[in-house]
Amino acid sequence: MMAFTEKKLPANAPMADKALNWVDSRFPLTKLWNDQWGQYYAPKNFNFWYIFGSLAMLVLVIQIVTGIFLVMHYKPDANLAFASVEYIMRDVPWGWLVRYMHSTGASAFFIIVYLHMTRGLLYGSYRKPRELIWIFGVAIFLCLMGEAFFGYLLPWGQMSYWGAQVIVNLFGAIPFIGPDLSLWIRGDYVVSDATLNRFFAFHVIAIPLVLLGLVVAHLIALHEVGSNNPDGIEVKENLGPDGHPLDSIPSHPYYSVHDIFGVIVFLTIFSAVVFFAPEMGGYFLEYNNFIPADSLKTPPHIAPVWYFTPFYSILRATTSQFIYALIAGIAAYVGLIFLRTRLAASIKMAIAVVGLLIIASMFVFDAKFFGVVLMGVSVMIMFALPWLDQSPVKSIRYRPDWHKYVYILFGIAFVVLGYIGTLPPTVGRTLTAQIGTFIYFGFFLLMPWWSAMGRFKPVPQRVTFHPH
């Protein structure tokens, strides 16, 4: 066993140094700080895209703190939930501010996460050796979606109630186990007090624990392999005499100042929304959610919150006529694999068999089931991104110029899907959503081919950096 040692300090050392030394001899506080931030060396050419990771941590803290204060006054009871939210808004000192910070924080969280993932797409932050970082990140995104969904029911307003009713009923489309699964999720035959209680438990305890664990894993994996940079160059391949990368700088104080500036800008915008437009025209807080839940009165248009609507549009786009387009798409994709890949014949045959089984199942199960499948796959496909991208370079800077238009088209399709999901369905909107769905899945499924096409620019040996 190692002997206990405590660093000897001069008798006149400051009390703070003595206290820190006492802690460090029993718990590696200073070592943790240095490893994770203080002496963590990051590439020196970060740009504004690299602010969103820190902002996501800030919003996570805001959500946890405001959530704790809301739970102090909230009643997870179908007869009391809506009134308790009104009590928080009207009678609890500063309760309206805490509630609006929490509701605005939910939307801010998704805005920041979407931008954070966009940066990963642009600079190839999911490529080797950062595959696990990306996987943990997508898992965090899934947890956020679950956390937002379960929390959305808690105000017990009209849109909360009916939105939960619609989403939970979607699980009933799953063959064989669907009805029982929907019943288990609700805890009753309809959304009721039992549903509210279990959603409250998931929102307040279960998912936050998983989310915090994934965030820690995400950060540990990041600091193990090092941060990516806009050039997509591995800075650890060029070490200086001190053992640190030549093209990196300590995170503190350089990126501490960088992040503090970003935090100030974010909090200014966040405060403006909280104080002047917390409902954001009905996108952050729907007007129907200020009406108590009524199981006998269905709102004319039921739609999820804006950050779910791109995937909700994919669900709505899957009609019985759209199934035939999917069949043609699957057949064409299998043909592409046969003609344009060098896979072993046995693997190609296995892919063909799977494709035929999927096509055959489309004549057995209804469109609603495949809508649920596509909605789920539209998120899960992100896990495969590190292996779908076959580009010889990581960063968009050194890819062919037309690759940028592919990313722009994907981004436009995603935004259009999100906007259409907030509106009532029409023939034109359904057709637009179907086109957007093909673009969305085409971006990922065709990536092994298009990402390797074109003339790539030479990647420099060292990062490009212009002091400012």
What residues have CB less than 8 Å from 339, skipping those under 6 apart?
A: none
CA atoms within 13 A on the CB side of 232: 22
Domain 47-290 has CATH 3.30.70.270: no
CA atoms within 13 A on the CB side of 19: 3
pLDDT more than 70, % of the chain: 99
In this prediction, residue 341 carries a pLDDT of 85
Q: What is the mean pLDDT of residues 409-429?
A: 95
In this prediction, residue 247 carries a pLDDT of 87
In this prediction, residue 101 carries a pLDDT of 97
Q: What is the mean pLDDT of residues 361-367?
A: 89
Supply φ then ψ for residue 73, to 5 degrees: -120, -10
In this prediction, residue 27 carries a pLDDT of 87
In this prediction, residue 24 carries a pLDDT of 82
Total-model pTM = 0.93
Q: Is the pLDDT reported for residue 1 higher than 60?
A: no
Q: What is the mean pLDDT of residues 233-241?
A: 86
Sketch the domain layout of the chain as residue ranges.
47-290, 306-450
Q: Are 60 and 109 in contact (CB under 8 A)?
A: yes
In this prediction, residue 417 carries a pLDDT of 97
In this prediction, residue 142 carries a pLDDT of 96
In this prediction, residue 382 carries a pLDDT of 96
In this prediction, residue 4 carries a pLDDT of 62
- Distance between CA atoms of residues 106 and 62, nearest Å: 10
Q: Please write the tens of the pLDDT for every residue from 194-216.
A: 999 999 999 999 999 999 999 99
In this prediction, residue 72 carries a pLDDT of 96
**N-terminal to C-terminal alpha carbon distance within the chain:** 52
Lowest-confidence pick of 6-15, 167-176, 220-229, 359-368: 6-15
In this prediction, residue 62 carries a pLDDT of 97
Is the fold of 47-290 the same as that of 306-450?
yes
Q: What is the mean pLDDT of residues 183-203?
A: 92
In this prediction, residue 5 carries a pLDDT of 67
Q: What is the mean pLDDT of residues 93-121?
A: 97
What residues have CB less than 8 Å from 203, skipping those under 6 apart?
A: 147, 150, 151, 154
Q: Using alpha carbons only, what angle is made at residue 284 by residues 444 and 75, rounded to the nearest 5 degrees?
A: 115
Question: How far from the centroid of its chain's Cα atoms is residue 405's Cα?
Answer: 23
Pick the CATH number of 306-450 from 1.20.810.10, 2.40.50.100, 1.10.286.10, 1.10.10.10: 1.20.810.10
In this prediction, residue 291 carries a pLDDT of 93
CA atoms within 13 A on the CB side of 267: 9
- Distance between CA atoms of residues 382 and 263, nearest Å: 28
Q: Please write the tens of the pLDDT for every residue from 315-363.
A: 999 999 999 999 999 999 999 998 888 888 899 899 999 999 999 999 8
Structure tokens at 296: 């006998």
Q: What is the mean pLDDT of residues 423-447?
A: 95
Q: What is the mean pLDDT of residues 442-467?
A: 91
Q: Is the pLDDT reported for residue 277 higher than 60?
A: yes
In this prediction, residue 19 carries a pLDDT of 87
In this prediction, residue 170 carries a pLDDT of 87
In this prediction, residue 3 carries a pLDDT of 57
Pick the more confident residue, 2 or 431.
431
- Distance between CA atoms of residues 67 and 385, nearest Å: 33
* Average confidence score pLDDT of the chain: 92
Lowest-confidence pick of 24-28, 129-133, 415-419: 24-28
Contacts of residues 163-170 at CB distance under 8 Å and 24 or more positions apart, as own/partner, are 163/302, 163/303, 163/304, 164/191, 164/195, 164/199, 165/190, 165/191, 166/302, 167/304, 168/195, 170/315, 170/368, 170/372, 170/375
- Distance between CA atoms of residues 129 and 108, nearest Å: 29
pLDDT more than 90, % of the chain: 70
Pick the more confident residue, 137 or 35.
137
- Distance between CA atoms of residues 317 and 425, nearest Å: 9
Q: What is the mean pLDDT of residues 68-89?
A: 96
Q: How confident is the model at residue 12 (pLDDT cuts 50, 70, 90)?
A: confident
Supply φ then ψ for residue 27, to 5 degrees: -150, 130
Pick the more confident residue, 224 or 115.
115
